[in-house]
Amino acid sequence: MSYYQKLEQHARKLSRLGHLSAICGWDQAAMMPSGGAEARSEAMAELAVIAHELSTADYLADWFEQAEQEQLSDAERISLAALKRQWMMHNILPADLVEQKSLLGSQCEHAWRTQRKENDWEGFKQNLIPVVNLARKEAAIRSKATGLSLYDALLDLYEPGMTSEVLDGIFADVKSWLPQLIQDVQNKQKNEAVLPLTGTFPIVEQNALSLDVMKLLNFDFNHGRLDISTHPFCGGVSTDVRITTRYDETDFTSALMGVIHETGHARYEQGLPHQWRDLPVGQARSMGIHESQSLFFEMQLSRNIDFARKLAPLAQKTFNRETDSALTAENLNTINTRVKPGFIRVDADEVTYPAHVILRYEIERDLIEGNIEVDDIPEIWDRKMQAYLGIDTKGNFKDGCMQDIHWTDGSFGYFPSYTLGAMYAAQFMAAMKKVVDVQAVITSGDLSPIFTWLETNIWSKGCTLSTDELVKQATGETLNPRFFQQHLMARYL
């Protein structure tokens, strides 16, 4: 067996442990009763330590040195580089920090489940402070190893090649036109009639509608499933993708658009190159590209009148409301493209969403860089919400900085990916439209040509190209945020 093959075998072993961790993590969020939390945290931490020990085994340095001398195919050489990056990332952290991160993260997340309901910032803070302190320690270690700044050393985990300097430029640009755009769109929409949804939409029927729409989006139910959790996510493994949603009985569109979003993530996972299933090179390119797929599904594909014309009859039938004027395609599309600054990022519309991301990015960057403390978060949160969206969050922690599960597990550096994803999605749609008649395809009800384009240009590439190269091969140029701005102006003004 060559050293490269030994490294592949080693990576498969790690990937299999990751499989178990992913399924148990899904279970923790979607199935586990709360009394099981303590023992589960301990078990997950134990697995994390074992995976870390494997990832940092002494012999790997030699294996990499040897493998780099071997005759390898181009594909193997790319795979070896991905393996090496993964190895270096893992080797930076000491085992006790990894274990602590898993343990503190599980505790913080679990407590958050009840603390959020109770708007208990003081309680939540007690768990978040050690989580942030550990993240700072992690950033310091990674910074020293990579030569990147504290925050960039974390950002690099999710968006290789991206820096906060570049991001600050992009976000400064967005901040230069977004507040005005939000104003203009609101003024335009002020006089547009929208019929609010009335009555209740039973969860069991919403679930049936979700499954119908997942079928329309060619979700592979032989390799995945849909369940319920407090915070919607896409988890599991590429052969068995677990997506979740949460249902609001008074507003079915919220869960439905969430399901469409997660289905975008899920199809990316299901479409990854299976010949490299357990290897880094067979994984998704980056968080931003992952988010580009969920936002392609949710924003580019679904929030338009053509898609609404497929959705409306399904909704009318499922809820037995064939004569409800609120459930016409036109009204549903009006609801789905309504712009209204609000508290909750995951419920935010396409136009105000970047403001939420920029706010979170600026706070987490300053937290990690040590410019602010956990205690400062609510005040800064409120100030920025006022500035970007004109919203008051004073004392309302549960809809403010405690609104979602993010940060509880000590992972910082990936908020920018959400808005990078929106930008990539807009750029992919513009490129796709040159070769696919997207409107006609949606109207036909067989959306396969859309997914074939994504599969060919994005999914099947796995991690074989750099983000820049992937985007360039798919669209003819690297990231160009103007596509996003043009998309928003075309759709909303």
Q: Which residues are catalytic?
A: 262
Beta-carbon count within 10 A of 118 CB:
12
DSSP string, 321-359: -TT-GGGSHHHHHHHHT-----S-GGG--TTTHHHHHHH
Interface with its own copies includes 237 (CB under 8 A)? yes
Interface with its own copies includes 240 (CB under 8 A)? yes
Residue with tokens 């922690």: 397
Interface with its own copies includes 35 (CB under 8 A)? yes
Q: List the one residue out of 2, 13, 12 whose CA is nearest residue 76.
A: 2
Interface with its own copies includes 445 (CB under 8 A)? no
Among positions 3, 32, 113, 306, the unique one binding its own copies when judged by CB under 8 A: 32
Shortest separation between residue 135's beta carbon and its own copies, angstroms:
25
Interface with its own copies includes 215 (CB under 8 A)? no
Interface with its own copies includes 223 (CB under 8 A)? yes
Among positions 220, 248, 324, 404, the unique one binding its own copies when judged by CB under 8 A: 220
Report the distance separating Cα 310 and Cα 304, nearest Å.
11
Q: Which residue, 8 or 159, is less far from its own copies as judged by CB?
A: 8
Interface with its own copies includes 99 (CB under 8 A)? no
Choices 1-9, 76-84, 237-245, 477-485 (CB under 8 A): range interacting with its own copies: 237-245
Q: Which residue, 47 or 129, is less far from its own copies as judged by CB?
A: 47
Report the distance separating Cα 318 and Cα 2, nearest Å.
57
Burial class, 228, CB count within 10 angstroms (exposed 0-12 / middle 13-18 / buried 19+): middle
Report the distance separating Cα 43 and Cα 24, nearest Å.
10
Choices 116-124, 235-243, 290-298, 442-450 (CB under 8 A): range interacting with its own copies: 235-243
Shortest separation between residue 60's beta carbon and its own copies, angstroms:
17
Among positions 10, 116, 142, 225, the unique one binding its own copies when judged by CB under 8 A: 225
Q: List the one residue out of 109, 23, 35 whose CA is nearest residue 411.
A: 109
Among positions 2, 3, 6, 17, the unique one binding its own copies when judged by CB under 8 A: 17
Q: Which residue, 226 or 312, is less far from its own copies as judged by CB?
A: 226
Q: Which residue, 14 or 209, is less far from its own copies as judged by CB?
A: 14
Cα atoms found within 13 Å of the Cα of residue 482, Cβ hemisphere only: 3
Number of residues forming the site for its own copies (CB under 8 A): 36
Q: Which residue, 40 or 90, is less far from its own copies as judged by CB?
A: 40
Q: List the one residue out of 363, 370, 402 whose CA is nearest residue 384.
A: 363
Interface with its own copies includes 34 (CB under 8 A)? yes
Interface with its own copies includes 96 (CB under 8 A)? no
Q: How far is CA 173 from CA 140, 170, 381, in A?
A: 29, 5, 21
Q: Reduce the secondary structure of 422-475 to three states and give it as a string.
A: HHHHHHHHHHHCCCCCHHHHHHHCCCHHHHHHHHHHCHHHCCCCCHHHHHHHHH
Contact positions toward its own copies, by CB under 8 A?
12-13, 16-17, 19-21, 23-24, 27, 31-36, 38-40, 42-44, 46-47, 50, 220-225, 236-237, 239-240, 277
